[in-house]
Chain A
Amino acid sequence: DVKVTQSSRYLVKRTGEKVFLECVQDMDHENMFWYRQDPGLGLRLIYFSYDVKMKEKGDIPEGYSVSREKKERFSLILESASTNQTSMYLCASKLRRGGEQFFGPGTRLTVL
């Protein structure tokens, strides 16, 4: 079974703090994704990566950066957290173009 894990289920941070969200997958997938989910808006893509050290902006990259130093790990970074970044963050991975995505359990981030 593919397993995608995220470092925290719940996280509370203060405005201005630097926040790291970690995601690890164990099935050697090339492609990894970060989404945020807000009520009524569905899943919106923040960034994705199709190879080590490669990254591409999704639909809402502003205020975020990512890092992919190893194939199995994809990190989302909030350089200076703001209250409008309070959300559920989901990581996903997939093997190939068009293939199904496998999701992590999500991190609910609250920025005070």
Chain B
Amino acid sequence: ILNVEQSPQSLHVQEGDSTNFTCSFPSSNFYALHWYRWETAKSPEALFVMTLNGDEKKKGRISATLNTKEGYSYLYIKGSQPEDSATYLCAFISSGSARQLTFGSGTQLTVLP
């Protein structure tokens, strides 16, 4: 079983604060790294699919970076809003089994108004 770790486990920030969290994954046999957002009572939705070392992706106030050589990805949220409250999951895909995702345990973000 591959080891994918996310930190912190949970986070409370004030509205307007910027925040970031980390996903660590194996640095060998890299194929792709996904980020998902999972809001309460909804289905997880993909934020980013990242495949190349050095990738930076952005969607509105949310961005992500990828370092495959050292095995980590950061997710940044600029100017957090209450609607950003969700659990953020990363998922690693190994080149050995590119159909299968291994998920981290997630970072639960709460943005306080």
- B-contacting residues of A (Cβ < 8 Å)? 4, 31, 33, 35, 40-45, 48, 50, 58-59, 90, 97-106
Contact = CB atoms under 8 A, between A and B. Distances in A.
Interface in B33-72: 34, 36, 42-46, 49, 51
Given A100-B46, A101-B101, 7 more contacts: A35-B103, A41-B105, A42-B6, A42-B104, A42-B105, A43-B103, A98-B93
A45 B43 contact: no
A99 B51 CA distance: 10
A36 to B, nearest CB: 11
B9 interface: yes
A90 B36 CA distance: 14
Interface residues of B, number: 26
A4 B32 CA distance: 23
A102 B106 CA distance: 17
Contact of A97 (B42, B98, B104): B98
B86 interface: no
A45 B31 CA distance: 18
B75 interface: no
A37 to B, nearest CB: 9
